[in-house]
Amino acid sequence: MSTETTLRRSVGTAAATATSAGLAFAAIDYLGVVSILAYAPGATAAFAILVGGLIVVLVSAIFSELNGLYPSAAGIRLYLGRAVGNRTALSVTFTYMTTVILVIAADAFLIGAAVRHVLHEPSALAYVWIVVLLGVALAANLRGVRMASWVQTIVTYTVLVGTSVLSIIAIVHVGGAFRQPFNIFGSGSFSGIQAIAFALFLYAAFEWVTTTAEEARRPQVITRALFIAPVLIWIVSTLFALALAHLVPYGALHHSATPQLLLGTRALGTVGEMWMLALTVLTALNTFNGGFLVASRFMYAAARENNLPRPFAKLNMNAVPWVAVTSLTVVSAIVAALVFATGQWLMLVSVGAAIECAIYAIGSLCVVRLRARVTSDRPFRMVFAKPLASFGVVLFSALFLATAFADPKDSRRFSVVPFLIIAVLGFFATLYVALVVPRLERAAAARNAERRPTRRPPRPGTGPDEPVAGRVDELP
């Protein structure tokens, strides 16, 4: 298909919400709840998750306003460009795009760990499972946005409902009192703040749904998804945290890569373990499928604007940027293989979480600046936008520093490794923008010059002031 083919507006509220919630609620969220329990023991974790969710409402409002101004697959590049300059915006957005690959790779490792734990299979065979799931997500995406959205909707809601039901069974079916029902400072003076910081990461990446703005049936679809998805994540994560606090001692959870399997076993024995294994495998589909859906649309828009090579803007017969989707699949498989070989999935999570906090801070800054620079009507307007967005700049900048300079294996220790990795990613993104993007822009300008209409040379005996009857512009 030609690059003039456009994306199709087929995404409704249910599918957009599933895309948003599915990207955030990956297998890593089960471990995220355990991290919260380390600082907010027992049922207190539910309070931390609630506070994190309230902070995320601010993020929802920020990205709803920005998406309303620029409802495009390249929206983040557009509003960043207006706020901080086009070159800086491109460097930031290309660095930001790596979070999708990081989340997919980390989730792949955890799913492989769950498969090995239950089925006692070697790492190589567990990796085959991941490749197959990546292939399923690729096939669904290549069939078109309707098929990808249908898969995302079914799988995401199955994971959310299945996790909630088993958590309720664990709470109700197994009697006994909750351990440490409310002890917000149970692990030290700053434990409550640290618990809330980890709770915020349960919702990370939900805002990527804004890249599907050009495929939403109505502009309001994305705004609804941005507010509904965090509520769903809050409900499921709270129930899961309460169930873990009720049934499983923290000593058994510490250093475990499969807390959801421990909960399933405590609640329903082998049936519960297989139940949670099935849901864990399904989280791969909602993460892989949703990641390909949103990241490929950003790559498509970037290529359309001559910031990526032209093949990434090619659409197949189903209006899917197939080169972008296929490339994401291959890169995800390679990064997942590296994670399987090294076991450094925690580092990916730390880097991805830090980049998310940085983007939230930058998004807050964009709202502050664009309120003064852009006077056009907004489909969605934040209340108290400037003070709230200014607060967001400070809050998320602090969380970025706390995450980027923390040891991913022990958040109480200092480490510069996550920050250095982010710096390297940013350096290569900046280098690409400085060296490659100008060449792509010059090539695009040359192509446009060749396509411009030309006029026939004047006939002999006619001057410039003597119009030739019937003369028309001649297209090449």
Q: What percent of the chain has pLDDT over 70?
A: 88
Q: Is 218 inside any structural domain?
A: yes
Structural domain boundaries enclosing 60: 13-345
Q: What is the length of the chain? A: 476
**Does the pLDDT value for residue 461 go beyond 60?**
no
359 located within any domain? no
On whether residue 21 sits in a domain, the answer given is yes
DSSP 7: -
pLDDT tier at 456, thresholds 50, 70, 90: low
For residues 130, 225, 217 and 299, what is the CA-based torsion angle, rounded to 10 degrees? -50
Mean pLDDT of the chain: 84
For 17, other C-beta atoms within 10 Å of its C-beta total 26
CA–CA distance, 174 with 181 (Å, rounded to integer): 16
Cα first-last separation, the chain: 21
Q: pLDDT tens across 107-163, in order?
A: 888 888 888 888 887 877 888 888 888 998 899 899 888 888 888 899 999 999 999
CA distance 179 to 384: 40
Enter the pTM of the model. 0.84
Encode pLDDT of 46-75 as tens digits.
998 999 999 999 999 999 999 888 888 777
Tokens 């909602």 belong to which residue?
286
- pLDDT per position as a tens digit, 242-299: 999 888 887 888 778 889 999 999 899 999 999 999 999 898 888 888 888 888 888 9
Residue 391: the pLDDT is 95
CA dihedral (190, 391, 430, 321) in degrees, to 10, reads 100
Q: At what angle do helices 145-173 and 220-247 cross, to 10 degrees?
A: 30
- Residue 442 falls inside a structural domain: no
- List CB contacts of 366: < 8 A, sequence separation 6 or more: 62, 66, 79, 80, 82, 83, 84
CATH number at residue 251: 1.20.1740.10
* Count of domains observed in the chain: 1
Beta strands in 145-287 (DSSP E): none
- DSSP string of 96-160, one letter each residue: HHHHHHHHHHHHHHHHHHHHHHHH---HHHHHHHHHHHHHHHHHHHHT-HHHHHHHHHHHHHHHH
2 found inside a domain: no
Return the higher-pLDDT residue of 243 and 471: 243
Asked if residue 351 belongs to a domain, the reply is: no
Phi first, then psi, for residue 457 (nearest 5°) are -65, 150
In a domain, 100, yes or no: yes
Residue at 428 is within a domain: no
